[in-house]
Structure formats: structure tokens, C-alpha cells
Structure 1
Amino acid sequence: MTASTAAHADPTASAARPPTILATSGGHRAWGARTMVEFDALVHHAVDLSGAHGRRPRVMYVGTAIGDAEHFAARMAEAARVAGFDLVPLNLFPRPNFDDVEAAVLEQDVIWVMGGSVANLLAVWRVHGLDDIMRRAWRSGVVLSGVSAGSICWFEGGTTDSFGPELRPVTDALGFLPYGNGVHYDSDPGRRPLIHDLVANGTLPTTHCTDDGVGLVYRGTDLVEAVAEVPGKGAYVVTREGDAAAEERLEPRRLPGVR
């Protein structure tokens, strides 16, 4: 990573557990050895980043972007059991499932946010004040992580199919990280050219992108490492140069696999 891809870390962060985000296009896969969903190396890396040891790691699963679908929460719970994690879901439909949502969030080691509709996620989180709670959790050292919509949400914005089959920009994400975010960069052919257009015309700032199976690690707002659970995949930094976009590939470090 170069200094040009990073900003200064958040000055309010705890020295012991700096604010950490793992933004990914991966993390779990269908049909594990014993479960319908299995945590892949990126979820395990989020737990490693939290520093949890000597006990079962505490992971909160947030499925807002798929409407808190109960069947998927159950599959994630089974994946966590096999992985040796204590997982609790945070549901906001039809109402929050905790009396004190902030206390529940702050006692976690890791927050894992599922993909789906990032536009709906942002709207529902803001209604419930979860955007501010997540910022306090980040500053306190809880690792924020997730896939797809659960990646874009931490940035200024990115590309989304939240509004229909045609990809469109979203520019009002939480902004913890002062960049755009491009997910599924290699598997959805419309995303790379749209990211380039949006960066070139100034709709998105410098944008950090991930192929499927790749994650980006941030300490504070500094991009410190790209990591991958799948070989041969890449991460990318797209910057504006005049009226055009320029793309730099970052080679991820391959994580120890669980495959």
C-alpha cells in the first residue's frame, strides 16, 4: 500500500484496539462440510483482527440488507457453531430484538453485515440510530466487517443494484472511510466500467475495489492490507486523473484457508 491510498487514522480511537474495518466481497460459501453455509477465511480473519482469545469470539450477524431473513440467520448461526464462534443476530424487522441495541453491539468482537440492498440497509439503520451506534462501536475497537452491501455501507458510496437490475451509484453511505467502494469487481461485468465513470466524473472519490473472495483491511481510515481467501484474485484503487480514471491493482495476501 502507498501513502497516497490512505488518510489519517481517527484521533478518537483507543490505543489498545484501533478502529478496524474489513470490507469484503466474500467471507462465506454455500454447502460446507456439515452446514448449508460455511464461514470462509475472510470471516475468520475478521475474528483474528479483533484479538479475541481465551474464549469463544462474539460475532453479531446483521441481516438488514436482506430484510432479516430468518432462514439465512439460522444458516449463519450453524456456520458460527461449526467455526467455534458465539453468534447473535441483530434484527430490526419488525422491531429491534434487543432492548438496548447499543449495549448489544458494543459487547461484540466482530460485526458481520450481510449483503443485499445497501439502500434499504442505510435507510433502516438511520431510522433506528444504528448508524451512530456503529460509529461508536468502530471507535471503541469492535471490528466492523461484511460482504457486498455490508462492505459498501462503511464507505462514502459505491455501485448498487438496490434500485433495480441496472446498476446505479449510491453516494450517501456512512462515510466512516473516505473512499468509494466497488464490490464483485470481477464477477459483475457492469461494475468496473461504472466505477471508472463515477470516479472520472467526480461522483465518487478515490475508490477501493475487491474481486470476489478479497477483503480490504483498514486501521482507522488507513488502508493497510488486501487479503484473499481465493487465489488469483485482486484488489484495486481507482483514482481520478484529469477527466479519466486510473486503476492500480493491489496483490492480496492469501489467507490460511478453511477449504
Structure 2
Amino acid sequence: MVSTGSSDVVAQLRRAGCVFAEEEADLLAIAAAETGSDLEQLVAQRVSGTPLEHLVGWVEFHGLRVGVAPGVFVPRQRTGFLVDEAAALARVQGLDRPVVVDLCCGSGALGLALATVLAAEGRTVDLSAADIEPAAVDCARRNLAPLGAHVYAGDLFDPLPTDLRGRIDILLCNTPYVPTDMIARMPPEARDHEPRRALDGGPDGLDILRRVAAAAPSWLAPCGHLLVEESETQAPVAAAILRQQGLNARITESDEHYATVVIGTAPVGRT
């Protein structure tokens, strides 16, 4: 049994390439103590490439502790920019009770973060979420239960109740956008431990976005917004895809977060 705070644990993690070895050693020790797990086994799993978040059971995202589990996509810190952009849109439109859907929701982190931000401003969110991965659906249901959100299992819009059609004010959709040929170059933490369907966006990384864009106009409320994260090089093509479906599209970027978000807005007088 490796002792808590042992320099040996830190050394093992450093040799495995963990940049923040000291912090990870502390988190693993706490997780072992809280769950009764064997610290040595946790360290071995981490050294073998298991994501730290899967081992400790949570990730810090947008100032919140969000539960994650094996087989669930770990939200990236850069995606907090998408949440910020969504909150800004809700403010600009004066939405006191926006209808929000977190599609491809994974752990439900985006919906949870947006609802938390708006709640601090006195706004209540009517939140729903959906994902195709069973492990993600279970995880999102646990995370979003305190909000009374509904989490649906299925492919994109398919499981959503029809009464949401034409009513969604904010559609958060962190679609898979890694080109298929690039999956092999991803870090093992993602490539080997996160669902392939949560990563693989097809030949150019935009296949899932095309499907979302084709259906989104019928689900968005007038002036409703679709927000998707893309790479800087993909963003112009993604914006063109949204425009082809009748949405007004613009690209926003954050140097601080190293993030690019494409926003598609439904026109006011669309039919």
C-alpha cells in the first residue's frame, strides 16, 4: 500500500508524464480514503492512462464539481467559453426562464453550468438533456437531478419530447468534432477511455454537426440559438453549414480559453 502523500506516488506519476503530479497524488489519496479504494491500484490505473477524473469521480468545470464516471466523456475546460456565450445570449434577450437543451450532453456539465450561472442572476432554466451513450445518460441524470431536469437516452433529437419543438431558446451541443483520421493521435486518456462516438466527427469532424444543423431549425424558438464548439480551422465551414440550413451564423473566439464557438440563430420571421 502506497502511503498518502508519498514521494513515491508523485515520482510514479511524474514518470508517467503527469504534469501536475503533486496535485494528482493528493486527489488520488483523497479518493482512496473516501471510497475505500486501494491507493496503489488507483495510482497504477492512472499511470496506465486512465483519466484522473474517472478515478476520482469528478471534474471541476466552470467552477463546479461535476460527477463523471468510466465510459463518460470528460468535459474540457475550454468548453466553459461556450457556457459563457450562452449565458450572454440569455442576458441580451432578457430570458428569465429560457428553455435549454444540452444535446450530446455527456455528463450534463454544460447544462448544469449554464443553469447555475443563470440561477445566480435570478433566472430559472427549463432544462432538458440527451445523449446516446447509456453511461453518459446515467451520469447526467445524477448531476442534473437537483435541477429537476429531464435526461433522455437516444440519438440527437430523436428522444426529445415533441412539445419542445419550436421552443428551444438555447441549444447547447458539444458535438464530436475530431476528424476520424486524427483519433489515433489523441492522448490515450481520451482515445482509450472515452466513448468513440463522443470523439469521432467523421472525415472532416463535422458529420454530427451537419445532422444537428439539418434538424435544429425546427426545434429552435424564433431567435433561438444553437451553440457548438469547433476547432479554429473548422469554424468557417461549420458556420457555412448552419447558414445553409437557414440560421444566421457567427464565430466567436476566446484566446483565454483557446476555444472557438459557432453560434447559429433562428431568424425571427422564419416559417
Structure scoring higher RCO (CA < 8 A, sep ≥ 6) equals 1
User: Scaled by the length of structure 2, what TM-score is found?
Assistant: 0.37
Rg larger for: 2
Structure with greater helix percent: 2
User: Scaled by the length of structure 1, what TM-score is found?
Assistant: 0.38
Structure with greater strand percent: 1
